[in-house]
Amino acid sequence: MKRPTPRKKPTPRRKPKKKSSWLRNLLITIGVLSVIAIIGYHYRNGLAYYLGFKTDKVIKEEAEKKRLSDVRNFQILSKHNGKIVGIDVSEYQGNILWDSVKNIEGTFPIQFVILRSTAGKNRVDAKFHQNWKAVKKQKVIRGAYHYYRPNENSLEQAELFIKTVKLKKGDLPPILDIEKLPKNQSIDSLKVGLRRWLKRVEQHYGEKPIIYSGESYYNDFLEDEFADYTFWIANYNFFVENIKDEWLMWQFTEKGSVSGIKGNVDVNIFNGNLQELRFQTIGN
């Protein structure tokens, strides 16, 4: 009888070698630090504000931009000697010391102030009522504008403005601010909505509103079909230095300096003298 052939013992499987844990941890750390560095660089200016410091380079760059802006502002205002100068503000300027608000760049007297009153169908500027009363005491011509939201009902927006703004004799006519394009409607539908707002507001106050917009927006969408209205145009182009004849007002900078107001202020030139500005007001 043959002896059974002895079975070979199975060769044990080798366990795969684990990657070195220190290498894996190093790669993870490098990846995390890279992401933090990218985010930090992208939001570097915001982080600088948040942490309460800025690099010397950022400070110098901003100072240089402000210096150039001040030079341009002074030059433009000097070139328009004889025309009337004013500002427009909103809640973004915070608490304004109105008794100190006298001049722009410390030289050019402020003759009119325009305040944001409302936005869309349900937003009242947080500082409007406070500012509206304060400006009246300063004995300068005042006005109020509505920031139009293209994707909200135009008549509801008009009713909010009417409910909020009590215009009186000597105030500027109501002002409609249109800057944005619609998302869910055509340009033709937008124009229908604008017309509805303008007509409803004119019906209530008995005054034809003024329209505010950027020059490109005005040229592309408003100039032809709204030619029966007067326009307040924004154009901050560094090389544009003169108001156009067809503009009622020109907002030429958003970086004006006014005592009593922290930060930058929008500055505007009215295309005429003080008597002509008064002629534009309600009751004249």
Report residue 39 CA to chain centroid gap: 26
| Residue 195: how many other CB atoms lie within 10 Å | 13
Is 174 a residue whose pLDDT tops 50? Answer: yes
Task: Give dist(CA 256, CA 246) in Å, integer.
Answer: 24
Long-range contacts at 131-136 (CB < 8 A, ≥ 24 apart): 131/89, 131/96, 131/98, 132/165, 134/96, 134/98, 135/98
What homologous superfamily is domain 63-280 in, according to CATH? Glycosidases (3.20.20.80)
DSSP class of residue 227 equals T
* pTM (predicted TM-score): 0.78
Which whole number is the average pLDDT over 48-72?
58
Cα-Cα-Cα-Cα dihedral of 233, 236, 240, 244, to 10°?
10
- Which class for 269: exposed (0-12), middle (13-18), buried (19 or more C-beta within 10 A)? buried
Q: Collapsing DSSP states into helix, strand and coil, what is residue 148?
A: coil
Strand 112-119, strand 141-147: pairing: parallel
Q: Rounded to 5 degrees, what are φ and ψ at 21?
A: -65, -35
Query: pLDDT at residue 7 above 80?
Result: no
* Structural domain spans, the chain: 22-51, 63-280
Q: For the residues 102-122, what does the mean pLDDT come to?
A: 95
Res 49: pLDDT = 42
Q: Which token pair is 68?
A: 């150039």
Alpha-carbon span 117 to 124, nearest angstrom: 6
Looking at residue 60, its pLDDT comes to: 53
Q: How many helices (H) and strands (E) does the chain have?
A: 8, 11
Residue 8's pLDDT band, with cuts at 50, 70 and 90, is low
pLDDT bracket for residue 130 (50, 70, 90): very high
104 token code pair: 């722009």
Burial class of residue 7 in the structure, from the number of CB atoms within 10 Å of its CB (0-12 exposed, 13-18 middle, 19+ buried): exposed
Q: Which of 40-49, 257-266, 270-279 has the lowest mean pLDDT?
A: 40-49
Dihedral through CA 168, CA 172, CA 175, CA 179, nearest 10? -150
Mean pLDDT computed over every residue of the chain: 87
> What mean pLDDT comes out for the span 252-278?
96
- Amino acid letter for position 125: D
Q: DSSP assignment, residue 226?
A: T
Q: What is the DSSP annotation of 67-85?
A: HHHHHHHHHHHHHTTTSEE
Higher per-residue pLDDT: 67 or 26: 26
* Contacts with 86 (C-beta within 8 Å, 6 or more apart), sequence order: 110, 111, 112, 113, 114, 140, 141, 249, 267, 268, 270
d(CA 114, CA 164): 15
Beta strands in 20-79 (DSSP E): none
